[in-house]
Amino acid sequence: MLLPLEYQVRRIKEKMVYYKTKEEIELIRLSSLLVAKTHAELAKLIKPGITSKKLDQRAEEFIRDNGGVPAFKGYRGFPFTLCVSPEDQVVHGMPNNDEVQEGMILSVDCGVLMNGFYGDSAYTFAVGEISDENIQRMVDAMKAFSLLMKVHKVEKYKACATSAMREAYNGTDIVSLIKKKTDIKIDIIDPNNCVIETLKHHWGRS
């Protein structure tokens, strides 16, 4: 059955990629810079005993004081400024009144809307002295991210990189997939540490 023309056109527009002007890119940079400054502000506060709700409150204050709007708050009913995920929670954890503990790793995801454009970034913080296991987890995750970027820069492997991201969202580690489909040299990485959910984050208008 053919869909109405208006609906077909709308679907095509939704899939289109719009190239940004230099002026628009600068606005995206400013939004992303405020995200980075917010992470820096939170870094001063992250220590044993603080709650993720307090971090969320400070993030909202800081963003609004600097001319931005929390991008996540209100999105599909989401009630917070940050997503905060301790330890092995992957992403999109809701801030709560649980106290942060010594030795934790804490993923903090922050988004800003300013001048009509979005900035968005997640950062993983080490709380105090962390275990060798958590250090390795952070190192492996960074290696996996760098590996994916390396693969994506090789024209003939772009499809493989896209496939790796899709498979990783479904629970398959990216290292095994890239080893199988490319001849790129890979350092030793524990695949259990190679979750790339944060690669979904984006910049721009939507």
pLDDT value at position 88?
79
Alpha-carbon 181 to chain mean position: 26
pTM for the full predicted model: 0.73
DSSP string computed for 51-111: BHHHHHHHHHHHHHHTT-EESSTTGGG---SEEEEETT--S-PPP-SPBP-TT-EEEEEEE
Q: Check residue 127 and give its pLDDT.
A: 95
Spatial CA neighbour of 128 closest among 106, 154, 151: 106
Instruction: Determine the pLDDT at residue 194.
Output: 45
The answer on pLDDT for 109 being more than 90 is yes
Say whether 128 sits in a helix, a strand or coil: coil
- Beta bridge mates, 84: 108
pLDDT of 3 higher than 80: no
CA distance 93 to 100: 14
DSSP state of 44: T
Tokens of 104: 């934790």
Residue 200's pLDDT band (cuts 50, 70, 90): very low
Where does the pLDDT of residue 197 fall: very low under 50, low under 70, confident under 90, or very high at 90 and above? very low
Question: Structural domain boundaries of the chain?
Answer: 20-130, 134-197
**Quick check: 188 pLDDT over 50?**
no
Confidence class for position 191, pLDDT limits 50, 70, 90? very low
Residues 191 and 178 sit within 8 Å (Cβ to Cβ): no
- Per-residue pLDDT reduced to its tens digit, 136-181: 888 777 777 777 677 666 666 666 666 665 555 454 555 666 666 6
Give the C-alpha separation, 168 to 200, whole Å: 11
pLDDT at 84 over 90: yes
Q: Which one of 3.90.230.10, 3.30.1360.120, 3.30.70.20, 2.60.40.10 gives the CATH number of domain 20-130?
A: 3.90.230.10
pLDDT (mean) for 45-57: 97
Mean pLDDT of 83-91: 86
Name the 3-class secondary structure at 26: helix
- 47 CB-near residues (< 8 Å, 6+ apart): 100, 127, 128
pLDDT above 90 covers a percentage of the chain that reads: 50
- How does 167-191 read in b/e, with b if 16+ C-beta sit within 10 Å? ebeeeebbbebbbeebeeeeeebbe
pLDDT for 18 beyond 70: yes
Q: When comparing pLDDT for 70 and 169, which is higher?
A: 70
Higher pLDDT pick, 92 / 4: 92
Could you count the other beta carbons within 10 Å of the beta carbon of residue 82? 29
Confidence of residue 134 (pLDDT cuts 50, 70, 90): confident
Model pLDDT, residue 51: 97
